Amino acid sequence: MQNLNPTLSVLVPHEIVNDNDVKIVRFLVADGTQVLPQQPLVEIETSKSLIELHSPGRGFFKALWPVGTKVAIGQAVGEVCATRLASETVSVSSSAVDSRPDVLVATEPARAVAAKHQFDLLHLAHLPLIRRADVEAYLKLEEPAVPRTLFTNHRLVTPTLNGPRVPVLIIGAGGQAAVVADILLQDDRYQLLGFVEKDDLATGTEVVGGYKTVAGGNDLEKRFNPAQVALFVAIGSNHLRLKVAQHYADLGFGFVNAIHRTASIAVGVQMGAGLAVFAQSMIGPRSRIGDHAIVNTKASIDHDGHLGRGAHLAPGCTLGGAVSIGELALIGIGCNVNLGVTIGSDVTIASGFSIYRNVPNGMSLSTKIGRQWW
């Protein structure tokens, strides 16, 4: 006779080789909760660490043991059933369930709209009841943001063939300034004059390799002629970097690009002024990189990419083809962004996230949302 209610076991993995058993610390969902494949269900404690066990499939979760129970390696701590049994009751106390928003309660119209648009209801799991209007509002919010202007009036200073070296001042004296200095010093077309720090009293302080601060922010325009000296703004804050750059652009200064000799820039790439492309990074064909953007170490932008003004791709970021990043966005270390996704302006994404859908303007994604994917 066919089993009408097949179940999948949530097992303590055999890969835990240092222990004979583990302890159930807490359940991350309540009994009867509808769960998705790979959704975290329970946290167990080994002799070395805490480990989350994930759902082996789609269905309704049922705990087999209370919190605090020691369970042998290979034994089931819970089950995921294809259907919720009529006699099923919630046996896990609310104090044993983590406060993360994994419990989903949605109306049938909401589920129908979500299914039509292949929308994951976990994005609205913070709501006590997900209604059709909630799903529709979210889908509208996810419409691609309109990219702002990539290139403005900021003048790009480029060395001429067999011409004199371009004198450059770096604005900033921190870690990013040191990296930019290293890039420029490896390119004999530029002559590094020194660094400009906002604190006038810091003049004469060595930053890196014997190069020092030569001016304070208050007297740069008084001591240096915009027609004779180019600038690079090496400030970590996206907002401040763009603000400072605009100030000096209004005074007539031009900006150089700092592109590491190991970076790969494909054919057909459009680049603005004052941008940084660090070591072993890659920019694919027909991509467009806005003024004062940063493509950090080993970051990768595939074909037809769009990186807005003042945006920052942190080390190790990987963007699929035709990804659009709005101005002033910060994409954290090691993030992966799927093909064709649009990330809005002024967005902040913490390290390690995987992005599969559009991110609205001004949004911040951190581990506080209980997962590292969007």
> What are the sequence ranges of the domains in the chain?
7-83+94-141, 166-256, 259-374
Name the residue among 371, 349, 355 with its Cα closest to residue 28: 371
**Which pLDDT belongs to residue 28?**
82
The better pLDDT of the pair 295, 200 is held by 295
- What is the number of residues in the chain? 374
Angle at which helices 132-141 and 108-116 cross, to 10°: 30
Q: Which of 80-84, 116-120, 122-126, 264-268 has the highest mean pLDDT?
A: 264-268
- CA–CA separation, 348 vs 356, rounded Å? 16
- CA–CA separation, 334 vs 350, rounded Å? 9
For domain 7-83+94-141, give the fold: OB fold (Dihydrolipoamide Acetyltransferase, E2P) (2.40.50)
For domain 166-256, give the fold: Rossmann fold (3.40.50)
Q: Are strands 264-265 and 282-283 parallel, antiparallel or unpaired?
A: parallel
- CA–CA separation, 20 vs 210, rounded Å? 59
> Is the separation of the CB atoms in 207 and 178 below 8 Å?
yes
Residue 43 has pLDDT above 90, yes or no: no
CATH number of the 259-374 domain = 2.160.10.10
As a whole number, the mean pLDDT across the chain is 83
Name the residue among 315, 235, 334, 250 with its Cα closest to residue 277: 315
> Is the separation of the CB atoms in 315 and 327 below 8 Å?
no
Between vectors from CA 43 to CA 39 and to CA 45, what angle results, nearest 5°? 150
Note the Cα 318 to chain centre separation in Å: 10
> Is the separation of the CB atoms in 182 and 322 below 8 Å?
no
The better pLDDT of the pair 206, 218 is held by 206
The better pLDDT of the pair 363, 186 is held by 186
3-state SS track over 95-120: HHECCCCCCCCECHHHHHHHHHCCCC
- CA–CA separation, 245 vs 235, rounded Å? 10
Note the Cα 303 to chain centre separation in Å: 19
**Which pLDDT belongs to residue 90?**
33
If phi > 0 it is left, if psi is from -120 to 50 it is alpha, else beta; for residue 322 that is left
Give residue 4's pLDDT band: very low, low, confident or very high (50, 70, 90).
very low
Give residue 160's pLDDT band: very low, low, confident or very high (50, 70, 90).
confident
Residue 126 has pLDDT above 70, yes or no: no
Give residue 41's pLDDT band: very low, low, confident or very high (50, 70, 90).
confident
Q: Tell me the chain's radius of gyration from C-alpha atoms.
A: 27
Token reading at 110 = 């909401």
Give residue 141's pLDDT band: very low, low, confident or very high (50, 70, 90).
low
- CA–CA separation, 372 vs 70, rounded Å? 29
Q: Are strands 336-337 and 318-319 parallel, antiparallel or unpaired?
A: parallel
Residue 308 has pLDDT above 70, yes or no: yes
Give residue 145's pLDDT band: very low, low, confident or very high (50, 70, 90).
low
> Is the separation of the CB atoms in 65 and 54 below 8 Å?
no
pTM of the model: 0.64
Least confident range of 261-265, 310-314, 337-341: 337-341
- CA–CA separation, 309 vs 291, rounded Å? 5
- Supply φ then ψ for residue 312, to 5 degrees: -140, 120
Token reading at 136 = 């529709």
Least confident range of 16-25, 55-64, 207-216, 218-227: 16-25
3-state SS track over 258-319: EECCCCEECCCCEECCCCEECCCCEECCCCEECCCCEECCCCEECCCCEECCCCEECCCCEE
For range 192-205, the mean pLDDT: 81
Token reading at 268 = 């057909």
Q: Which residue has the tokens 């690079």?
A: 232
HSE at residue 208, side-chain half, CA atoms within 13 A, is 17
Least confident range of 27-31, 43-47, 68-72, 198-202: 198-202
pLDDT tens per residue, range 322-369:
999 999 999 999 999 998 888 989 999 989 999 988 888 888 887 665
Share of the chain above pLDDT 90, in %: 44
**DSSP count for the chain of H helices, then E strands:** 5, 32
